[in-house]
Amino acid sequence: MKILGFLPPGIPYVFRTLFSVVLAPLSVLFAVDVLRTRFSVQIPIWVSALLCIVSIPLLFAARVVWKSQQEKQEAKRMGARFAPVMNGNWPGNVDVLLEFVRSSRNDYPGEVQLGWMAHLGTNVMDLRVLWEDILFTTEPEHIKAILATDFQNFIKGDKFKYSMRSVLGTGVFNADGDMWKFHRSMTRPFFSRDRISHFDIFDRHAEDAIARMKERFRSGYAINFQDLASRFTLDSATEFLFGNDVRSLASPLPYPYSAPAAERSNVGLSHAEQFARAFAESQEIIADRSRVGATWPLQEMFKDKTKDPMKVVNGYIEPILREALEKKPSTEERGANGEKMEVEEGETLLDNLVKFTSDPIVLKDEILNILIAGRDTTASTLTFAIYLLAMHPPVLAKLRSEIMELIGPSRRPTYDDIRDMKFLRAVINETLRLFPVVPFNIRESVNSTTLPSSNPTEKPIYVPARTSTSYSVFLMHRRTDLWGPDAAEFDPDRFIDERLKKYLTPHPFIFVPFNAGPRICLGQQFAYNEMSFMLIRLFQSFSSVTLSPSSHPPGTLPPPEWSSAKGRKGIEKFWPKSHLTMYSLGGLWVNMEEAKDA
């Protein structure tokens, strides 16, 4: 694969496929030749040609039947049953695949999977696309097995890694085994309690962001909160991880769609915005690859679609990298310092990383993965929190009272303040429940295994070796049988009142926005601190939030036909979309009123 790395992905795919296709006719030709030379049996040319043609589907069918027989025997040996299969009408379930791709692009997240599972009366199903098993589950016990109890047996896997490689490289999100351990062990020391409990970085960038917001509101325009939150988290994450912030908050804010064209055209795309757009575009492309499945290279026959956006992304990252490498002490200096390889006081993640490798590819991959982890996740969660608070003014009023009571209108919050703010934590958790930023995820089984059945009288579910196993935290977090009849409602008190003991405490795996097990999010505490800090600072400064639908670019609000749908799809006022992480299509345009008590 590496030798052919310069070719667009479609060409090696076609060659690989052709190779396996021509095996059958070649075998036929060989057999015909043996019959003729050894046994003097003459086969007419037209018969040989016909045999060559039919050998291709026959061999394929034989492989499918053989595999299915093997799996049946193995499932029986393991005392397991097959997951219910979502049967489409077209051979190979091609219609199921097409419906899945269409829905991922145009519908509310998870709608099509919910419909199929309701049809099958199950929370786990096999989509069996192109005769390959693809499991999909929303069962907490399955998610627990995949992430924790059977962790060694569920890896990211080659299929996933190949489709993500042109963007994520071999960074922490796209690595298994030793490479994953290397990235993880490099990154972990930077999230120690000591390092994440100093809030100077958040304070400076939050102050900057709020000043920009006030300025824009005073000029009579709404702001795109998603854009602002992304700049706040990008500047905070780059300063925390790389020592220098990229000053994305310094560039002019975009104007709403409804603003006069003259205002809008005054704001060119800043360097940070070009990076953000290209970054989002490349994530969209790789997410689309994983939706289409193994045949994705066919969509990229003549060009790797990520090539152009990744040029912009790399152009943004390379100067950060160059600077770190220039600062890197030489081998002699390191020798004189007694080869201090452990993390030192004041050292950033990047300073530490360059002590271990000068390989620009490894360094770039690490930086890019950590930027996705550190920017998009907290920016989206803050955006969803602001959206939900705009939709629920009594919840916002309760949150503000907690802020005013414990911290007051202007004091800077401390680590201890944040730890004591029970309602603020509940608001963040409730936001992560309804809108977990990694809504869908996937692993691949190494060996055949089983997943427990929720009904103890039923046999466990059989998972063949090398099966793509996807799970949705997003759909699990909204299940009424796990969270109660009001699961679709935004009600942070469920993380405080008797519902906590009833639902979550006895079943902690029903809430896993940060995943769980050995690959649990490394930045979880950093993220809680950053989001809490920003929300406190925001609601010290502003007393109310309202959505500004007229500011949205056309085509980015939920289509009118959604309003008759059941559940959250029917009430949503923004369009949740997801590539690797979830975001609001077209941003989130809001107005806020400055607090009189600030």
**Residues of the shown chain interacting with ligand HEM in the complex, contacts defined by CB under 6 A:** 172-173, 184, 187, 237, 370, 373-374, 377-378, 381, 432, 437-438, 441, 513-515, 519, 521-523, 526-527
Secondary structure (3-state) at 263: helix
We find the least distance from the C-beta atom of residue 528 to ligand HEM, in angstroms, to be 8
C-beta of 86 vs 320, nearer to ligand HEM: 320
- Asked if residue 176 lies in contact with residue 155, where contact means CB atoms within 8 angstroms, the answer is yes
* Listed residue (589, 230, 280, 582) closest to 434, CA to CA: 582
We find the least distance from the C-beta atom of residue 173 to ligand HEM, in angstroms, to be 6
Residues ≥6 apart with Cβ < 8 Å to 368: 167, 168, 169, 171, 313, 317
- Asked if residue 183 lies in contact with residue 369, where contact means CB atoms within 8 angstroms, the answer is yes
Q: Which amino acid is at 312?
A: V
The sign of the CA dihedral 24, 29, 35, 41 is positive
We find the least distance from the C-beta atom of residue 550 to ligand HEM, in angstroms, to be 29
The total of other beta-carbon atoms located within 10 Å of residue 362's CB is: 19
We find the least distance from the C-beta atom of residue 191 to ligand HEM, in angstroms, to be 7
Angstrom CA distances, 381 to 230, 248, 530, 584, stand at 10, 19, 11, 10
We find the least distance from the C-beta atom of residue 140 to ligand HEM, in angstroms, to be 15
Q: Please state the length of the chain.
A: 598
Helices (H), 421-515: 422-434, 473-476, 480-483, 498-499
C-beta of 513 vs 587, nearer to ligand HEM: 513
Name the residue number minimizing CB distance to ligand HEM.
523
We find the least distance from the C-beta atom of residue 355 to ligand HEM, in angstroms, to be 19
C-beta of 143 vs 527, nearer to ligand HEM: 527
190 token code pair = 């930077």
Q: What are phi and psi of 458, to 5 degrees?
A: -100, 150
Q: HSE of 291 in the Cβ direction (CA atoms, 13 Å)?
A: 25
We find the least distance from the C-beta atom of residue 94 to ligand HEM, in angstroms, to be 28
15 token code pair = 């060659």
We find the least distance from the C-beta atom of residue 495 to ligand HEM, in angstroms, to be 15
We find the least distance from the C-beta atom of residue 290 to ligand HEM, in angstroms, to be 12
Place of tokens 């962001």: 209
C-beta of 377 vs 467, nearer to ligand HEM: 377
Q: For residue 254, is it left (φ>0), alpha (ψ between -120 and 50) or beta? A: beta
DSSP letters for 138-200: --HHHHHIIIIITGGGEE-HHHHHHHHHHHHTTSGGG--HHHHHHHHHHHGGGG-HHHHT--H
C-beta of 173 vs 533, nearer to ligand HEM: 173
* Listed residue (210, 226, 227, 196) closest to 528, CA to CA: 196
We find the least distance from the C-beta atom of residue 232 to ligand HEM, in angstroms, to be 12
C-beta of 187 vs 578, nearer to ligand HEM: 187
The total of other beta-carbon atoms located within 10 Å of residue 516's CB is: 19
We find the least distance from the C-beta atom of residue 267 to ligand HEM, in angstroms, to be 28
- Asked if residue 229 lies in contact with residue 382, where contact means CB atoms within 8 angstroms, the answer is yes
Three state DSSP letters for 516-550: CHHHCCCCHHHHHHHHHHHHHHHHHHEEEEEECHH
We find the least distance from the C-beta atom of residue 372 to ligand HEM, in angstroms, to be 9
C-beta of 381 vs 445, nearer to ligand HEM: 381
Secondary structure (3-state) at 439: coil
C-beta of 431 vs 551, nearer to ligand HEM: 431
C-beta of 257 vs 583, nearer to ligand HEM: 583
We find the least distance from the C-beta atom of residue 273 to ligand HEM, in angstroms, to be 21
Helices (H), 435-517: 473-476, 480-483, 498-499
Angstrom CA distances, 92 to 129, 185, 193, 290, 342, stand at 6, 42, 51, 18, 53
C-beta of 24 vs 196, nearer to ligand HEM: 196
The sign of the CA dihedral 199, 202, 205, 208 is negative
**Any known ligand binding at 52?**
no
Place of tokens 């693809």: 134
Where is 388: in which H helix or E strand? helix 377-391
C-beta of 300 vs 366, nearer to ligand HEM: 366
Three state DSSP letters for 10-66: HHHHHHHHHHHHHHHHHHHHHHHHHHHHHHCCCCCHHHHHHHHHHHHHHHHHHHHHH
C-beta of 51 vs 134, nearer to ligand HEM: 134
C-beta of 371 vs 557, nearer to ligand HEM: 371
Binding annotation: 521
Binding annotation for heme: 521
